[in-house]
């Protein structure tokens, strides 16, 4: 794993408190049935695991390589097994789950090895769902806020439906389809600045530069929005394909 892929554990608590959970409608679109057995892969602190539980999806197993992220997940989602593992080495038997969901983590995986592992653990007819949840750059003040954190959009879809994810050639999956879901949340301005600090582009900066990102984010929201709390628009970009 690269330094950026490993950076989240150092801010696991803030990550869990401040990062957006997926828009619930996206989960209804991705999960075939509440009775499905779901693997939350690259589960982090369990934002998706808990969102699935809130939607009535109880049979969720989480796999996460970072010990600090996994510890938060285990503490806050006591009903879900939290397994050490990675997308390239999933600690589950063949054909054991109905859906594999990957929230804001696919871009960290080795796509060849991860796709092979996901195909192995999915039952035929099962769903691979990739999702990314983010402050919605369709609003200009949010797009400028993201620029302050130098959020790196490489490998991630934008906020518009119709995007494509290219799986490795020959992967045993149907043609994918995509959708974008939106919801807004009131947040304290301090928390908006804190949320920016949980992006890997900021987590890997020296302390003085992280402080500068925070200072600029607070000034930006005060200048362009001027309320506290502030209504923050979020989007979940979702993509699904069926294991053939």
Ligand X SMILES: C[S@@+](CC[C@H](N)C(=O)[O-])C[C@H]1O[C@@H](n2cnc3c(N)ncnc32)[C@H](O)[C@@H]1O
Summarize as ranges the residues that interact with ligand X (CB under 6 A): 1, 5, 8, 19, 42-44, 47-48, 64-66, 69, 86-88, 103-105, 108-109
CA distance 127 to 119: 10
Q: Which is nearer to ligand X, 49 or 178 (CB)?
A: 49
What size, in residues, is the chain?
244
Q: To the nearest whole angstrom, how small is the minimum distance from the Cβ of residue 63 to ligand X? A: 7
Dig out the tokens for 156 from the structure. 């991630």
Q: Which is nearer to ligand X, 87 or 217 (CB)?
A: 87
Q: Which residue of this chain has its Cβ atom nearest to ligand X in the complex?
A: 44
Q: Which is nearer to ligand X, 149 or 225 (CB)?
A: 149
Q: To the nearest whole angstrom, how small is the minimum distance from the Cβ of residue 185 to ligand X? A: 15
Q: To the nearest whole angstrom, how small is the minimum distance from the Cβ of residue 145 to ligand X? A: 18
Q: How far lies 138's CA from each of 43, 165, 173, 233, 235, in Å?
A: 27, 21, 31, 9, 9
Asked if 113 and 87 touch (Cβ cutoff 8 Å), the reply is yes
Dig out the tokens for 141 from the structure. 């003040």
Q: To the nearest whole angstrom, how small is the minimum distance from the Cβ of residue 70 to ligand X? A: 8
Q: To the nearest whole angstrom, how small is the minimum distance from the Cβ of residue 104 to ligand X? A: 4
Asked if 176 and 165 touch (Cβ cutoff 8 Å), the reply is yes
Q: Which is nearer to ligand X, 68 or 228 (CB)?
A: 68
Q: Which is nearer to ligand X, 42 or 159 (CB)?
A: 42
Q: Which residues of 70-96 are buried (b: 16+ CB within 10 A; e: fewer)?
A: bbbbbeebeebebbebbbeebebeeee
Q: Which is nearer to ligand X, 86 or 151 (CB)?
A: 86
CA distance 169 to 159: 26
Q: To the nearest whole angstrom, how small is the minimum distance from the Cβ of residue 161 to ligand X? A: 20
Asked if 202 and 193 touch (Cβ cutoff 8 Å), the reply is no
């Amino acid at each position: 794993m690269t330094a950026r892929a490993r950076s989240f554990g150092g801010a696991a608590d803030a990550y869990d408190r401040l990062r957006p959970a997926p828009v619930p409608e996206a989960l209804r679109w991705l999960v075939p049935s509440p009775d499905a057995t779901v693997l939350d892969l690259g589960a982090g602190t369990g934002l998706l695991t808990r969102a699935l539980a809130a939607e009535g999806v109880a049979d969720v197993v989480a796999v996460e390589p970072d010990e600090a992220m996994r510890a938060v997940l285990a503490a806050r989602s006591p009903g879900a097994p939290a397994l050490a593992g990675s997308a390239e080495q999933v600690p589950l038997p063949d054909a054991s789950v109905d859906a594999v969901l990957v929230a804001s983590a696919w871009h960290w995986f080795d796509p060849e090895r991860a796709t092979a592992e996901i195909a192995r653990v999915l039952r035929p007819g099962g769903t691979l769902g990739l999702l990314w949840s983010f402050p919605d750059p369709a609003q200009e003040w949010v797009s400028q806020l993201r620029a302050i954190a130098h959020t790196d959009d490489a490998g991630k879809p934008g906020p518009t439906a119709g995007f494509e994810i290219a799986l490795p050639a020959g992967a045993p999956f149907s043609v994918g389809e995509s959708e974008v879901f939106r919801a807004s949340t009131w947040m304290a301005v301090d928390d908006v600045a804190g949320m920016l600090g949980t992006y890997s582009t900021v987590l890997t900066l020296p302390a003085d530069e992280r402080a500068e990102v925070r200072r600029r984010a607070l000034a930006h929201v005060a200048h362009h929005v001027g309320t506290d709390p502030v209504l923050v628009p979020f989007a979940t970009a979702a993509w699904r394909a069926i294991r053939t």
